Amino acid sequence: MGFSHNIYDHSLFVFHHGLDTAYILLYVDDIILTASSDALRYSIMSKLSSEFAMKDLGPLSYFMGISVTKHTGGLFLSQRKYAEEIIERAGMSSCKPLPIPVDTKAKLSGSSGNPYHDPIEYRSLAGALQYLTFTRPDISYAVQQVCLFMHDPKTQHMSALKRIIRYIHGTIDFGLHLHPSSVSKSVSYTNADPGHQEIHLWLLCLSW
């Protein structure tokens, strides 16, 4: 069909012919298709459906647990439902929300403290939070910190994890806005912190 396999992202296929461009993003049996014109999109869809049994689910609304809402300013990506499930799983539906996901003073240490009684629960919740960082860059540092202790979680690590969940509880509507913009400019920001003291604030500042 003229699509070429992308070496930088193996689930991405690109069609480019003259002014026509189309992208297919594949995940197991889910496909996102976008094309430069409606006519092109229809022709690709009819070609695909002649090859495979497939169902058109209309405009993108849900993909890999991320809900996509179209609004006048662009797209809004959210994992609200997933975040609610995490809070539910942690049994913290009625917890008090917190404004910051990490304790800005104390730093987590791996060696001190009592072992947490249910390391499997800890790992499961930490893993779940890691998936939530797809639309929540504001918790990426906090989640990275709790994930460092997956092998041997202590009670203090669990309280750090619960702190993140309390923060999520208070900011459940947060997500990622994508606006139409030119791709001519790209800017990166970086910070390294050997002391782990301020990087989380820095990351929070940039993501808000």
Partner 1 sequence: MQIPDTRRSTSGYYVYLGDNLISWSAKRQHTLSRSSAEAEYHGVANVVSESCWIRNLLLELHSPVTTATLVYCDNVSVVYLSATQSNFNAPNTSRWIYILCVRKSPVAKYDYYMSLHVTKSLTSSPKDFHCNSLMIFVIVSTFVSLPFRLRGCTRISLSLLEYFCYY
Please report, as ranges, the residues that interact with partner 1 according to CB under 8 A: 6-9, 12, 14, 16, 21, 23, 107, 109-111, 133, 137, 140-141, 143-144, 148, 176-179, 181-200, 202-203, 205-207
CB of 55 to partner 1, least distance (A): 26
Q: Answer for the pair 33, 101: CB distance below 8 angstroms, yes or no.
A: no
Cβ proximity to partner 1: between 143 and 158 the closer is 143
Cβ proximity to partner 1: between 86 and 143 the closer is 143
Closest by CA to 24, choosing from 53, 50, 60, is: 60
Distance CA 119, CA 33 (A): 41
Cβ proximity to partner 1: between 81 and 107 the closer is 107
Q: Answer for the pair 22, 33: CB distance below 8 angstroms, yes or no.
A: yes
Q: Copy the structure tokens of residue 99.
A: 């404004």
Cβ proximity to partner 1: between 11 and 49 the closer is 11
CB of 74 to partner 1, least distance (A): 8
How many Cα atoms within 13 Å fall on the side-chain side of residue 126?
24
* Cβ-based neighbours of 108, under 8 Å, separated by 6 or more: 145, 146, 148, 149, 156, 157, 160
CB of 109 to partner 1, least distance (A): 7
Cβ proximity to partner 1: between 8 and 52 the closer is 8
CB of 50 to partner 1, least distance (A): 26
Phi/psi of residue 59, nearest 5 degrees? -60, 150
CB of 111 to partner 1, least distance (A): 6
